[in-house]
Chain A
Amino acid sequence: MKKKRSTVTGITVEYEPLWRRMLNCWPLYLLLVPAIVYYILICYVPIAGNVLAFKDYSFRLGIWGSPWVGMRYFEMFFNSYDCWRLILNTLHIGFIKCILEFPFAIILALLLNEIRAPKFKRVTQTITYLPHFLSSVIIVTMMQRILAPNTGVLNQVIAGLGGDGSTFWLMQASAFHEILFGMDIWRNIGWDSIIYLAAISSVDQELYEAASMDGCNRLGQVWHVTLPGIRPTIGLLFIMGVGGLLSSGFEQMWLLRTPGNMSVADTLDVYVVRVGLQQAQFGYASAIGLIQGLVGLFLVVTTNALSKKFTEVGLW
């Protein structure tokens, strides 16, 4: 639909000077004021505040008055004992979250789409969406109870099966990634499947009939019709996900961290809060945050470019 200037004035929009068009739109600018003030104060000033990474911050002098230190904090970080351990931990967790967990919601959506009983389908959806409404704190509190040594449900099952039921799962570095993976799937699989279900419902129904005529069974239809039909959605969500490779979900890490699993649960996000907010090393923590942000931006832009080149799916 092509929009034109109101016919009341009899003048089309192209011939009016910019200032007059802006003047005519003053109510719209007024409506935009709160959002613009918000984005400037809460988003853009902190983006400019990234210069903190190059400054020795003092509360008294403020960001702009504090002395420059050049690349000192970046050198400090890359020379530190923690550096590579943190990066590897972050990448490991990022890989689990962005790559390993990615297909599960798609699989659930495909399964739900195969269910023909509408009532059963609705109940299933309601149940699988439920964990999305629980906060990380609640979920970790529940897990702490369920995974507790001896008295936790998991250990009681293990003991019941004749095993040793005294493992303190949350203190085991070796079990950390499995716990994380389980928690994520448990929490997100239903919610993340909504978007794929919506995409599936917009696939052309005639394609299914045609496939059926050609002797395609249900599995074949999923493979030849549904999956290609939702490929753009899968692509978009994947590109969005890749940007998070280096920021692995602060909340979960912070809550699941125990002295026992610290060696694998310490990620860049956690480290930034630890040294930044808790130890007030603002410049140093900002430098690490800036690296994360830039790498994330680079990853999204690159994946998007590659995806556009090879599959014609892109965010912009």
Chain B
Amino acid sequence: MEKMRGSGRIKTSAADKAVSIVTYVVVITLCLVILLPCLNVLALSFNDGKDAARGGVWFWPRVFTLENYGEVFQDGSIINAYKITIARTLIGTLMSLIFTSFAAFALNQTELPGRKIITFLITFTMLFGGGTIPTYIQYNELGMLDTFWVLVIPSLVSVTYLIMMRSFFDGIPYALQEAAKLDGCGYFGIYFRIMIPLSKPVLAVVGLYTAVNLWNDWFAGAFYMTSDALWPVQTVLQQMLARAMSASQQITNVADAIAASQNTVTSDSLKMAAVVITTVPILCVYPFVQKYFAKGTLIGAIKG
């Protein structure tokens, strides 16, 4: 597309040039606005906590130290929280992919009696739901509160991902399925031997979305758990944040800030180290899946 539009031109007009310049300036500014705060967090996490409380640490640590990271890794409760987050993300993503693709495949088969009504009933939950309290009470009735399962089950089969997968299956030539049927392949055979091997892009995208949501969720830990034994790491961070928000009311000047950083349990540098450690693993998955993004979202959009 780029070639076609470029070669036909006789000469770029002044107006077009202005458009180009404005485009680049805006886009580069946006990228800086997104990156610089992240750099600031990185710099703080590698900087000595007491020193950082004086301010003035920008994008490079002033007093370099690895102590913050060391301290985070020595904290037993944070390590435990990491284990829970990892377990939750792996188990939850795997279960979601299996159950969602099962349902998407079944609803993709046009000869299935009742497929329209089932699809409607599932899609309807996107528009109207039970609300926070009835949901909470249902989890309680199911005995899910204070168990590991409340971290996994609530997001097991999402409507959006189900529709994305079903639309992707729609795009796989029906002739393949028909040929398999003629060869005596049952539904399970078609699912495992044809649909799943051909669906890597959509499985990758849905898998990543689900993993990111599970990794980043703090709500379940904060509101469906009465003890901190099963808190995922995001909930631990959220509780730190909440404490900091209420403690910081009194801090109004630099001296107070330094005093506070020496007295309170967690210095900002320590917190930033925790932020970095919590974010890096999920960011590592992202480049591998990026190429599928545009495709995946488009599928969801057309049929959504």
Interface residues of A (CB under 8 A from B): 1, 3, 5-8, 13, 18, 21-22, 24-25, 27-29, 31-32, 34-36, 38-39, 41-50, 52, 57, 62-63, 108, 111-112, 114-116, 118, 123-124, 126-138, 140-142, 144-146, 148-153, 156, 166, 168, 170-171, 186, 189-190, 194-195, 197-199, 201-202, 205, 208-209, 212, 217-219, 233, 236, 240, 243, 250-251, 255, 257-260, 269, 272-273, 276-277, 282, 285-286, 289-290, 292-294, 296-297, 300-301, 315
Q: Who on chain B is nearest to A107 by CB? A: B26
Chief secondary structure at chain A's binding surface:
helix
- Distance A49 CA – B41 CA, assembled complex (angstroms): 44
- Cβ-defined contact, A21 with B111, below 8 A: yes
Q: Which residues of A contact B102 (CB under 8 A)?
A: 31-32, 34-35
- Cβ-defined contact, B30 with A189, below 8 A: yes
Known contacts A21-B113, A137-B241; is-contact A243 B6 (Cβ 8 Å): no
Known contacts A141-B237, A195-B297, A217-B13; is-contact A31 B187 (Cβ 8 Å): yes
A/B interface sample: 16 pairs, CB < 8 A? A1-B174, A3-B174, A21-B111, A27-B187, A32-B118, A39-B157, A127-B35, A130-B38, A133-B216, A136-B218, A151-B54, A186-B37, A201-B1, A251-B218, A293-B131, A300-B127
Q: Which of B58, B290, B304 contacts A153 (CB 8 A)?
A: B58
Size class of the contact patch on chain B: 35 or more
Known contacts A28-B187, A46-B129; is-contact A138 B134 (Cβ 8 Å): no
- Cβ-defined contact, B27 with A112, below 8 A: yes
Given contacts A49-B137, A144-B245, A276-B132, list 10 more A-B pairs with CB under 8 A.
A3-B111, A6-B181, A32-B102, A47-B130, A131-B34, A145-B268, A149-B253, A168-B248, A255-B238, A286-B131
- Cβ-defined contact, A142 with B41, below 8 A: yes
Known contacts A31-B106, A151-B55, A166-B253; is-contact A218 B19 (Cβ 8 Å): yes
- Distance A166 CA – B256 CA, assembled complex (angstroms): 12
Which 3 A-B pairs rank lowest in CB-CB distance, beginning with the nearest? Answer: A46-B130, A49-B134, A289-B131
Near A by CB (< 8 A), chain B positions 190-231 give 191, 212, 215-219, 223
- Distance A132 CA – B285 CA, assembled complex (angstroms): 13
Q: Which residues of B contact A39 (CB under 8 A)?
A: 121-122, 125, 157
Q: Which residues of B contact A297 (CB under 8 A)?
A: 127-128
Q: Which of B106, B142, B254, B278 contacts A151 (CB 8 A)?
A: B254
Q: Which residues of A contact B282 (CB under 8 A)?
A: 133
- Cβ-defined contact, A290 with B131, below 8 A: yes
Give the most central of B16, B33, B103, B110: most A CB within 10 Å. B103
Near A by CB (< 8 A), chain B positions 241-271 give 241, 244-246, 248-249, 251-254, 257, 268, 271
Give the most central of B13, B27, B156: most A CB within 10 Å. B27
Q: Which residues of B contact A1 (CB under 8 A)?
A: 174
- Cβ-defined contact, A13 with B238, below 8 A: no
Known contacts A128-B31, A170-B245, A201-B294; is-contact A286 B133 (Cβ 8 Å): yes
Q: Which of A5, A189, A236 contacts B111 (CB 8 A)?
A: A5
- Distance A276 CA – B128 CA, assembled complex (angstroms): 19
- Distance A215 CA – B22 CA, assembled complex (angstroms): 21
Q: Which of A31, A130, A236, A272 contacts B283 (CB 8 A)?
A: A130
In the assembled complex, the CB of B22 is this many whole angstroms from the nearest CB of chain A, namely 8
Q: Who on chain B is nearest to A45 by CB? A: B138
Q: Which of A31, A44, A190, A259 contacts B103 (CB 8 A)?
A: A31
B76 at the interface (CB under 8 A from A): no
Binary A-proximity of B32-73 (CB < 8 A = 1, otherwise 0) = 011101101100100000001111101000000000000000
- Cβ-defined contact, B252 with A166, below 8 A: yes
Q: Who on chain A is nearest to B125 by CB? A: A43
Q: Which of B103, B129, B245 contacts A43 (CB 8 A)?
A: B129
